[in-house]
Amino acid sequence: MTAVLIAADVRFPLERANGVQIVKTAAALARAGASATLLVRNSDPRPTDEILPLFGVAPGGVRVRRVAVLHRRGSFLLPRAAFLARAGAACLAALHRGSVVFTRDLQLADLLLSLRRRGRVVYEAHAVESILYRERGALYGTTDQPLPAKADRLRRREARVWRRARALVTTTAGIRDTFAEQFGARGGVTVIANGCDVPADRTFPGLATERPPRVLYAGQLYPWKGVDVLVEAVARVPSARLVILGGIPGEPDESRVRALAEDLGIADRVELRGHLPQAEVAAELMRARVVAVPVRRSDMTLRHTSPLKAFEAMAAGRPIVASDLPSSREVLRHGENAWLVAPDDAGALADGITRLLADDALSERIARTAFADSVAYSWDARARHLLDVFAEIA
């Protein structure tokens, strides 16, 4: 039995995409027969068996070890430093026992590989962090400017992890290729996309018939996600109602999107529901006539995005309209399992939505193909691919 420690410096629960991805992956590894332990921050007073169902994981579905990171009297450790110290010690002990340490935490991976170069550390890259940092201000709509010293530190850290890790997993081929272009080719790199829940007893649900037809967006409201472009597109589709799941009421991103809908005169056709538990997101997917994934074009998104909500829409059998980016085309095929449109173009997005709303035959064909394709992207399929990677370094 493969012993795996999955280390993640996230609040538990964190029901945003990265938290869901980490917990779902850990639970799937446990179902696949691995001795899987999830190592996270201890940031909630509720017992673990009350938190796991928030992610759609049964109590006891994965072993969870919660690391205390709060300040203690007489301690000056910051929470991040405390996590690195305590999780690092736990990871080193696991490596000493011959376990695999699997993490998407670049700094933790670098620390472990500096202390134990021959350890079975597998790093999972969801982006090239140095590129993400360089574009951070534009991506998140802030005035932040990258600091050259920090950018250089990230780049050197990525180079070391790329060179030293026993194996690497990237969620897109574009991430793998960008690393190779920057730091040189290496073996032991496997592309494993993000995943979704695919129940064994599911049947294709057919198109949603609710009127007015609902166009659904689920995810964060950061500018790079393209929600603003989607609001502008729906303003051109008077028959549609836009449902947005994500964001926190009163925060700048939510306020920006709400103000845009009001400025365009469509506030009565836009529902901003905020963050919902995963079960409620699944119910909203079933009501959606079209699901939109309108990611904007940038150096990061061109090759690095693997959005969970696209996979969830596929598994739900919903027709998807998405930005036509190289990263999207790793999973989505225009006219086959999605309708792809030019990014950053509200008119093109409106045309795509209108086409899917007007053509039931096209929408159903796309949705059925996506529904069938989603089996390859289940969390359980992802776990099997990961176990193959772990076996290779054993």
Q: What is the mean pLDDT of residues 155-162?
A: 97
Range with the lowest mean pLDDT among 124-138, 229-243, 335-349? 124-138
**Distance separating alpha carbons of residues 164 and 352, to the nearest angstrom:** 45
Cis before 307? omega within 30: no
**Distance separating alpha carbons of residues 385 and 337, to the nearest angstrom:** 23
Average pLDDT of the chain is 93
For the stretch 167-193, pLDDT in tens is 999 999 999 999 999 999 999 999 999
| pLDDT reported for residue 107 | 97
pLDDT of 134 strictly over 80: yes
pLDDT of 75 strictly over 80: no
pLDDT of 333 strictly over 50: yes
- Distances in whole angstroms, Cα of residue 354 to Cα of each of 206, 239, 312, 324, 341: 19, 9, 22, 17, 12
Q: What is the mean pLDDT of residues 199-204?
A: 92
For the stretch 1-17, pLDDT in tens is 899 999 999 888 876 78
Structural domains in the chain, sorted by start: 3-195+378-393 (3.40.50.2000), 214-377 (3.40.50.2000)
**Distance separating alpha carbons of residues 173 and 295, to the nearest angstrom:** 18
| pLDDT reported for residue 76 | 44
Whether the Cβ atoms of residue 54 and residue 16 lie closer than 8 Å to each other: no
For the stretch 25-73, pLDDT in tens is 999 999 999 999 999 999 889 999 999 998 889 999 999 999 988 655 5
Q: What is the mean pLDDT of residues 74-92?
A: 82
Whether the Cβ atoms of residue 19 and residue 11 lie closer than 8 Å to each other: yes
- Give me the DSSP letters along 279-305: HHHHHHHHH-SEEEE-PPP-HHHHHH-
